[in-house]
Amino acid sequence: MKGQLSGMRGVYLTAAELSRLGFIASPTSRSALAADILVTDQACQRALSVQVKTNSTAATFWLVGRHTPVSDTHVYVLVNLQSKDGPAPEYFVVPSSVVKERTVYSKHPKSEFWSVYRKDILDFRDKWDVFGDPRAELQVEEKSVSDEVRTSGDAAAG
């Protein structure tokens, strides 16, 4: 049960952070294959799926599983609920293609593991810009409307 609670906490903290940044973030029902959160920008023009992997401590790796889905719209958020710097969570926002290429296979007498190591993804710490700009499409829309208003005003004056 403790592991499930840590996982849920990681999902909701990630969704809260995405919402704070201006994205629309909806946790799935936990039955969606490889997607814990569905995310879109404010204009609903760009949708992404997010897989969250959570450690309750300041761990040095995350178990990611054998089959890592790779897509331009699939992102991993790897969470340590306690960072090496203190009690605040740390987030690594990593495109799925990077997770796939940096996954390490380990075989032990009774099991196999596929892991991503913290040292291999340090450059993705708090890299929320992987999701893009949550207002990008709205800004284009707002600019188009103001251009139309200016153009119609010019036509009326001429």
- Indicate the range of 23-27, 55-59, 133-137 predicted with least confidence: 133-137
Q: Residue 138 domain-assigned?
A: no
143 pLDDT higher than 90: no
Query: What is the number of other CB atoms lying within 10 angstroms of the CB of residue 146?
Result: 10
The whole-number pLDDT of residue 42 equals 93
73: CATH? 3.40.1350.10
Q: Residue 142 domain-assigned?
A: no
**Residues 118/92, Cβ–Cβ less than 8 Å:** yes
Helix (H) / strand (E) containing 100: helix 96-102
Q: Residue 151 domain-assigned?
A: no
Q: Residue 154 domain-assigned?
A: no
- Indicate the range of 24-33, 86-95, 128-137, 141-150 predicted with least confidence: 141-150
The whole-number pLDDT of residue 117 equals 97
Look over the chain and give the mean of its residue pLDDT values, rounded to a whole number: 87
Q: Residue 143 domain-assigned?
A: no
Q: Residue 140 domain-assigned?
A: no
Give the chain's domain count.
1
Residue with more model confidence, 1 or 26: 26
DSSP string, 42-105: TTS--EEEEEEEEESS--SEEE--S-----TTEEEEEEESSBTTBSS-EEEEEEHHHHHHH-EE
- Domain of residue 19: give its range: 2-132
34 pLDDT higher than 80: yes
CA distances in angstroms from 133 to 47, 48, 128, listed in the order given: 12, 13, 9
